[in-house]
Amino acid sequence: MARRSRTKTPIAEQDPAIRKSNFDEVCLGYTIEEGQAEAIRCLQCKNAPCVTSCPVMIDIPGFILSIKEGDMQEAVDILGKYTNLPAICGRVCPQEKQCEQVCKLGMNKNFEPVAIGKLERLVADWALENQAFSKHIQNNEPKNGRIAVIGSGPSGLTVAGDLAKRNYEVIVYEALHDSGGVLIYGIPEFRLPKRIVKKEIEKIEALGVTIETNVVVGKTITMDEIIDEFDACYISVGAGAPNFMEIPGTALNGVYSSSEYLTRINLMHSYEFPKYDTPMKRSNHVVVVGGGNVAMDAARSAKRLGAEHVSIVYRRSLEELPARIEEYHHSVEEDIDYHWLTNPIEYINNGAGELKGVKCVKMELDEPDESGRRRPVPIKNSEFIIEADTVIEAIGQGSNKVLLTTFPELKLTKWGYIEADPKTGTTSIPGVFAGGDIVTGAATVILAMGAGKVAAVEIDRYVRGKKNTPVTTKSLRKDKR
Amino acid sequence: MHKISKSKQLSENEYDFWINAPLIASKAKPGQFVILRINEIGERIPLTIADADDSSGNIRLVFQVIGKTTAELGKLTTGDTILDLTGPLGMPTEIKKYGTVMIAGGGVGIAAILPIVKGLKNAGNRVITILGAKTAELVILQKECREYSDELIIATDDGTLGMKGLVTAAMEHVINKETVHCCWAIGPSMMMKFCTLTATKHEVPIFVSLNPIMIDGTGMCGGCRVTIDGSIKFACVDGPEFKGTEVNWDEFISRMKQYKTEEETCLAGYQKAQVINRG
């Protein structure tokens, strides 16, 4: 123990003063030498607790040992057995609540856990740089079946990748013009560069997966057609419908959902307007409502767009903040202010239909509720106004009803999510599987991937059980080359 | 990629395209729209599906040049391609037998009423169509509208064609002479607002098709939100058709102007580049 560093090997980051005006990645990642220095800290536990607290059960000591020994290719191969999107998970997983939380090294007094996420990222980035992967060459081997995946977010991509590896013909249908779901429209460039997402997706396509963009299932093609033409399908459409607080003034110009704000920036590149056509307003005083990662992303994006003053209004306190602690620290370094125990009650009109301020009320914490968190209640006569020309509500999302309303046979929960067995992904309809946020409500990338891994195994079992004769390949779409 | 299989200029600023999109053509119903993006740096804009032909796999889009994207689109011609086309989106018009129906289209909104006129006629209604525009040359798609209408009234602001005046005057004229069971109005927001007032005065139910700012068009951002009967609705998935009487018009009209400055910057930049390109 004596020779192990107590703290994580430091990692290079862009200086806050510089990065708050650009969209480049904040964390620059380990060099191989730094990675090896960090890998040495791993205790190589038998029955390592980090493995069981990873939703896809990566052999963490295994790949870290390979780094330590300088065999990057072996580390890549080990990761590849468990995850299809390591460069993404290494960046956006809340490791402090998963693998790193139970790291035995970190359990020792005054010791930080091994930087598992940063090491995963190192290996994945090395692979993207150094490993050649070519487009899949169609073999003549009969496929085990045809599977439709609806939604190309992390859950859908995982199912698609895993089933392609099991020799299935997989077609992924995506409503937007780019694939990746929240990875492409939600999480900003400075946390997750889009070239990384695109490369990871190319890797999945190289396995033989076809991604059809601009297809809204329920509209462009129906669930009946999917059920007719495929042996099974996986619904992973996420929880992408924004909630609004519905307080007075919600319709004012300058009031955004975080989904709209981030979609404009990330998917449509409005931060590069007018080089790109999608406009974004210039703001001076921005208020973001909420305390999750999405709120952090929106606030930090607003700062990068040149807003003079950005503050986050959160109805609980720092202790309850659901955002990743690393991102909270980054936001503070970038001059984002916090109004703790505060809730907006009205958006104020400047007389021309535009926002001029956010009327808030101070909150105090009552007894814990069913979720175990202390319930915030407003304090009487504590109203005050924050000057703002832009407000972004990041208070969570619900299930998008477009597909579900056209498929009434599918059983939903009382919250409007799909009722699916978390152990298998099976729904009320045989052959229709579901996973990710459309089952759990808004959660994390890695949980969505975990659900995808489980479902891929079950889909394979289901299709093998259903039939023994292989099918021929034919494309459902008429208008794609 | 979607190929423009036919293109025609209808007026100085209005264009009529048939675009190859078999999946959309096979599903499109009256009242629905598409989102399109011309190229990699483009924005996503909504356009109503004016017609669809399943056998050839084409959809028809009629648009007016009002900003950069439509200006750029207007420069395209037969054989050119559009990068992204998504649809059909939104809820279709409720096509059924109402009895006598009146459908008013204003300006480029005439293209949006065409499939509704056609649908309602085929459903056995007596169809009275009103086409309104500033001047005669802007009264587009007359022949097609006439084909599916029992009566066709044209109103121009300057009186160069048909009656002189606004579509609301034509609506009054129809309502005074016969019983109308239901009506539709599609066009500029001011026109739809005043058509709603006219219909309501005579207690005729009215549907309008809202055209707010949209980004994805699939219900995931709320950019197109409108207040309908006091609650928030997303025009892209809950609409675009709503009862005219339930729309909060002032709010809707105010939200349409959100990006006016940015839109002007973008168009000016594009026009400047066009001039430079032409030397």
Q: What is the DSSP string of A185-235?
A: HTS-TTTS-HHHHHHHHHHHHHTTEEEE-S--BTTTB-HHHHHHH-SEEEE
Nearest to B27 among A220, A273, A479 (CB): A220
In chain B, which ranges are continuous DSSP H helix? 22-27, 68-74, 109-122, 142-147, 167-177, 189-201, 235-238, 249-256, 260-277
Q: Which percentage of chain B shows pLDDT scores above 90?
A: 92
Q: Return the amino acid letter for A169.
A: E
Nearest to B232 among A214, A250, A280 (CB): A250
Cβ atoms < 10 Å from Cβ of A1: 8
The annotation places the binding site of B at: 62-64, 221, 224, 236
- For residue A279, give both structure tokens: 């406009």
- Distance (Å, rounded) from C-alpha A320 to C-alpha A316? 6
Q: Does B265 score more than 70 pLDDT?
A: yes
| Phi, psi for A396 (deg, rounded to 5) | 110, 165
A117 in Cβ contact with A30 (< 8 Å): no
Predicted ipTM of the assembly = 0.94
**DSSP assignment of A146-187:** EEEEE--SHHHHHHHHHHHHTT-EEEEE-SSSSSSTHHHHTS
- Distance (Å, rounded) from C-alpha A202 to C-alpha A181? 15
Q: Which residues pair with A398 in a beta bridge?
A: A241
Nearest to B215 among A220, A260, A269 (CB): A260
What's the CATH fold of domain A244-395? FAD/NAD(P)-binding domain (3.50.50)
Q: Are B222 and A244 a contacting pair at CB < 8 A?
A: yes
Which residues of chain A carry a pLDDT beneath 50?
Answer: 1-2, 469-481
Of the candidates B230, B224, B193, which has an alpha carbon nearest to the alpha carbon of residue B208? B193
Q: What total of structural domains would you count in chain B? A: 3
pLDDT of residue A130: 87
pLDDT of residue B269: 87
Note whether B21 and B85 are same-domain residues: yes
SS3 A55: coil
Q: What is the CATH number of the domain that holds B131?
A: 3.40.50.80
Q: What is the 3-state secondary structure (H, E, C) of B187-220?
A: CCHHHHHHHHHHHHHCCCCEEEECCCCCCCCCCC
Rg from Cα positions in chain B: 18
At A310-327, the pLDDT tens digits run 999 999 999 889 998 888
Note whether B43 and B147 are same-domain residues: no
Asked, for residue B33, whether it belongs to a domain, the answer is: yes
Asked, for residue B273, whether it belongs to a domain, the answer is: no
- Distance (Å, rounded) from C-alpha A353 to C-alpha A128? 49
- The structural domains of chain A, with segments of one domain joined by +, span 12-130, 146-240+398-480, 244-395
A313 in Cβ contact with A247 (< 8 Å): no
Give the domain-ending residue among B43, B62, B89.
Answer: B89
pLDDT of residue B279: 54
**CATH 1.10.1740.110 holds for A12-130:** no
Q: Which residues pair with A133 in a beta bridge?
A: none
Q: Are B220 and A278 a contacting pair at CB < 8 A?
A: no
- For residue A166, give both structure tokens: 């099991």
Asked, for residue B46, whether it belongs to a domain, the answer is: yes
Give the domain-ending residue among B73, B89, B105.
Answer: B89
What is the Cα A40 distance to its own chain's centre?
30
Q: Which percentage of chain A shows pLDDT scores above 90?
A: 77
Q: Does B110 score more than 90 pLDDT?
A: yes
Q: Which residues pair with B241 in a beta bridge?
A: B209
* Gap from B41 CA to chain A (nearest CA, Å): 5
Nearest to A219 among B57, B89, B221 (CB): B89
* Gap from A96 CA to chain B (nearest CA, Å): 30
Between the CA of residue A70 and those of A17, A63, A65, what are the distances in Å?
35, 11, 9
In A217-323, which ranges are continuous DSSP H helix? 223-229, 258-262, 293-304
Note whether B181 and B98 are same-domain residues: yes
pLDDT of residue A479: 45
Residues of A in contact with B22 (CB under 8 A): 478-479
Asked, for residue B140, whether it belongs to a domain, the answer is: yes
Note whether B55 and B157 are same-domain residues: no
- Which CATH number among 3.40.50.740, 3.50.50.60, 1.20.810.10, 1.10.1740.10 corresponds to the domain A146-240+398-480? 3.50.50.60
**Which residue do the tokens 């890695």 mark?**
A446
Nearest to B258 among A253, A259, A400 (CB): A253
- For residue A38, give both structure tokens: 């960090």
Asked, for residue B124, whether it belongs to a domain, the answer is: yes
**Which residue do the tokens 């780019």 mark?**
A178
Of the candidates A363, A41, A324, A50, which has an alpha carbon nearest to the alpha carbon of residue A187? A324
The annotation places the binding site of B for [2Fe-2S] cluster at: 221, 224, 236
Give the domain-ending residue among B89, B107, B140.
Answer: B89
- Using left for φ > 0, alpha for ψ between -120 and 50, and beta otherwise, residue A82 falls in alpha
Sequence-separated (6 or more) residues with CB below 8 Å from residue A62:
A78
Note whether B73 and B114 are same-domain residues: no
Note whether B101 and B198 are same-domain residues: yes
| Phi, psi for A286 (deg, rounded to 5) | -115, 135
* Gap from A189 CA to chain B (nearest CA, Å): 17
A358 in Cβ contact with A347 (< 8 Å): yes
- For residue A50, give both structure tokens: 């980090």
* Gap from A192 CA to chain B (nearest CA, Å): 20
Residues of B in contact with A479 (CB under 8 A): 2, 20-23, 57
Note whether B32 and B85 are same-domain residues: yes
Q: Return the amino acid letter for A420.
A: A
Chain A residues bordering chain B (beta-carbon distance below 8 Å): 175-177, 213-216, 219-221, 240-242, 244, 246, 250-251, 253, 256-257, 259-260, 263-264, 268-269, 273-281, 353, 400-402, 477-479, 481
Q: Which domain holds residue B37?
A: 2-89
pLDDT of residue A442: 86
Of the candidates A231, A224, A230, which has an alpha carbon nearest to the alpha carbon of residue A406? A224
Residues of A in contact with B54 (CB under 8 A): none
pLDDT of residue A13: 94
DSSP state of A253: B
Note whether B96 and B201 are same-domain residues: yes
Q: Is it true that A146-240+398-480 and A244-395 share their CATH fold?
A: yes
Q: Which residue of B has its CA nearest to A275?
A: B41
Q: Return the amino acid letter for B144.
A: E
Q: Are A281 and B259 a contacting pair at CB < 8 A?
A: yes
Q: What is the mean pLDDT of residues B20-48?
A: 96
Asked, for residue B269, whether it belongs to a domain, the answer is: no
- Distance (Å, rounded) from C-alpha A274 to C-alpha A268? 11
Q: Which percentage of chain B shows pLDDT scores above 70?
A: 99
Residues of B in contact with A244 (CB under 8 A): 222, 225, 232
pLDDT of residue A481: 38
Q: Which residues pair with A343 in a beta bridge?
A: A361
